[in-house]
Amino acid sequence: MATAIKSQPLREPLDFAGANFLAILYAAIILVAFIFMPWMWTEIKYSGARLMSDVLTGGSLKTFSTWQIVFIPVSALLALGAGLWGLMAPHRGALASVLAAAIGLMGLVYYIDLYWVREGEVAEYIRANLGAGADLTLVALVGLVAQTVLLLPPVNILAQRLGRRASALRPPVPQKWTPYLFLLPALALYLVWIIGPTVYTFYLSLTDWDGVSTPNYIGLRNYRILFSQSALTESLGNNLRWLVAFVTVPTTLGLGLALIFNTDMRGGRWYKVSFYSPLVLSWPVIALVWAWVYHPSKGLINSLLIQSGITSDPPGWLADRNLAIYCIIAAATWRQVGYVMVLYLAGLKNLDPTFIDAGLVDGANRWQLFRHVILPLLAPVTTIVFIISVIDSLRSFDLVQVMTRGGQGTRVLANYMYIEAFNNYRMGYGAAIAVVLFTISIVFVGLYLWRSLKDELEY
């Protein structure tokens, strides 16, 4: 063996991974430039994807491109495929590289057409106003073709050496900095998008900002007005109703369902899925569906009531001032039950069966087993369910907004805030409502965090 190695000439083996990697990189650049960069003028929204859809559908920007633009995303995707194939099957690396170059040539058809074939005022205008995305794509396409030079042995070797040289230039980073360096982008985003706006909202609540003019500092006047409004009482009352309903109804129903489905009953999985499935729907969809269910003349409930002969004059549900908020809460509960059920099911699965067995050995009946063994063991889950229900009830907004827009005495705090800020243009006042909501929520969020931190330390 040793002699065999020696007999080889002293030259490094060719490696086409670099070429394939470049192909993938250029393809990715093309895709990004096509979707996220301007192809005309300077604004991101006039991207290649937008131009392509306008060309294909006859949209308003159809003049600024030709159908050949379809080649661009197609060639990017194909080149991506070729590059990946090359990386995964290294012995085919050279072939993949050539393939990627051919695909790049196909994409260049668009530019050849644009620069040499098309003539006239429109074509000239397009050439003069091409955006950065179009330019970058051109370079990336040329790059896609050019990466084949790495197939030439001298270039390939040179590139390998250069790569080694470059990686030696990496600055040393102390080990203990690493986690913080990784955290830094997330923390920066959190600061800019969460902490900053929260603090700013506190400031805005002390101003009379209308969304247009410069905010003027007016002290606590927004709060003084707010606490004298009947709308605040209505909203708080509704939030309270929501809260009471949410910590009782879905919690008990969810626990009951979890206990039932925790046994190995026939088709239990399907029942579980069907109770859980409302969670897949977004709140506005649930609101629309239930608004139809509650429709006074054609809705499901009233049709059933009338056809079954129970009553000929059924209530108007959402149109009835005394019922509307309960109708909305009922719709919310429908979704929440499945959520609570899943939480409890997870809790039940984690129970240590030895406790239950011990209870059975001691002769406990089913109720005693539930009351004195299972329920206490589920206490951590119950706390979490309780706090999640409270937070969900406080942040309720979507259902009210879609189903009644806060009419019929159904306003909740979030809804009241939205209407004042964005409908009545009283940003300062809206901010004051937001601060009130925040203050109430923070108590429960704090409880939740404290609880989950404690649990984490225990495990």
Distance CA 345, CA 229 (A): 44
For the window 358-397, what string marks contact with other proteins as x by the rule CB under 8 A?
A: ----------------------------------------
Q: Which of 230, 263, 308, 439 binds other proteins (CB under 8 A)?
A: 230
Phi, psi of 40 (to 5 degrees): -130, 145
Distance in Å, CB of 57 to other proteins, minimum: 13
Among 213, 307, 354, 439, binds other proteins (CB under 8 A): 213
Structure tokens at 393: 């009830």
Give me 236's structure tokens: 């708080």
Per-residue contact string for residues 192-211; x = within reach of other proteins by CB under 8 A: ----------------x--x
455 binds other proteins (CB under 8 A): no
Distance (Å, rounded) from C-alpha 25 to C-alpha 105? 16
Site for other proteins contains 212 (CB under 8 A): yes
The residue among 120 and 309 lying less far from other proteins, judged by its C-beta, is: 120
Least distance (Å) from other proteins to the CB of residue 383? Answer: 39
The vertex-120 CA angle with 114 and 124, nearest 5°, equals 55
**Which two structure tokens, joined as six digits, stand for 205?**
């609540």
Token pair, residue 325, equals 């908020």
Q: Does 145 bind other proteins (CB under 8 A)?
A: no
Q: Which stretch binds other proteins (CB under 8 A): 36-44, 253-261, 266-274, 342-350?
A: 36-44
Cβ-Cβ contacts under 8 Å for 71 (sequence gap 6 or more): 106, 107, 109, 110
Q: Which one among 112, 115, 117, 163 touches other proteins, defined by CB under 8 A?
A: 163
Does 457 sit near other proteins (CB under 8 A)?
A: no
CB of 274 to other proteins, least distance (A): 28
Footprint of other proteins on 287-316 (CB under 8 A):
294-297, 316
Write down the least CB distance from residue 230 to other proteins, Å: 6
Of 190, 203, 227, 425, which one interacts with other proteins (CB under 8 A)?
A: 425
Shortest separation between residue 218's beta carbon and other proteins, angstroms: 9
Piece of 105-113, 135-143, 173-181, 186-194 that binds other proteins (CB under 8 A): 135-143
90 versus 196: smaller Cβ distance to other proteins: 90
Nearer to other proteins, 67 or 425 (CB): 425
Buried b (16+ CB within 10 A) or exposed e, 189-228: eeeeeeeeeeeebeebbbbbbbeeeebeeeeeebbeebee
Least distance to other proteins, CB of residue 40, Å: 8
| Binder among 84, 98, 136, 289 for other proteins (CB under 8 A) | 136
247 CB neighbour count, 10 Å cutoff: 18
Least Cβ distance, residue 408 to other proteins (angstroms) = 6
Handedness of CA 323, 328, 332, 334 (dihedral sign): positive
Q: Which two tokens stand for residue 199?
A: 């603090």
The answer to whether residue 122 forms part of the interface with other proteins (CB under 8 A) is yes
Rg of the Cα atoms in the chain: 32
Residues 6+ apart with CB under 8 A from 136: 29, 33, 37
Residue 22 binds to other proteins (criterion: CB under 8 A): yes
Instruction: List the interface residues with other proteins, window 426-445 (CB under 8 A).
Output: 426
- What does the alpha-carbon distance between residue 275 and residue 250 come to, in Å, rounded to a whole number? 12
CB 416 within 8 A of CB 359: no
Question: Are the C-beta atoms of residues 391 and 399 closer than 8 Å to each other?
Answer: no
Angle between helices 324-349 and 283-293 (to 10 degrees): 130
Please give the Cα distance from 153 to 151 (Å, whole number): 6
Chosen residue from 44, 56, 74, 162 binding other proteins by CB under 8 A: 162
C-alpha–C-alpha distance, residues 373 and 364, integer Å: 10
Which helix H or strand E contains 84, and what residues bound it?
helix 71-88
The smaller minimum CB distance to other proteins, of residues 162 and 187, is found at 162
Among 8, 57, 60, 175, binds other proteins (CB under 8 A): 60
What single DSSP character describes residue 253? H
What is the binding site for other proteins (CB under 8 A)? 15, 17-18, 21-22, 25-26, 29, 40-43, 46, 60-61, 63, 121-122, 125, 128-132, 135-136, 139-140, 143, 159-160, 162-164, 166-167, 208, 211-213, 225, 230, 294-297, 316-321, 404-405, 407-409, 419, 422-426
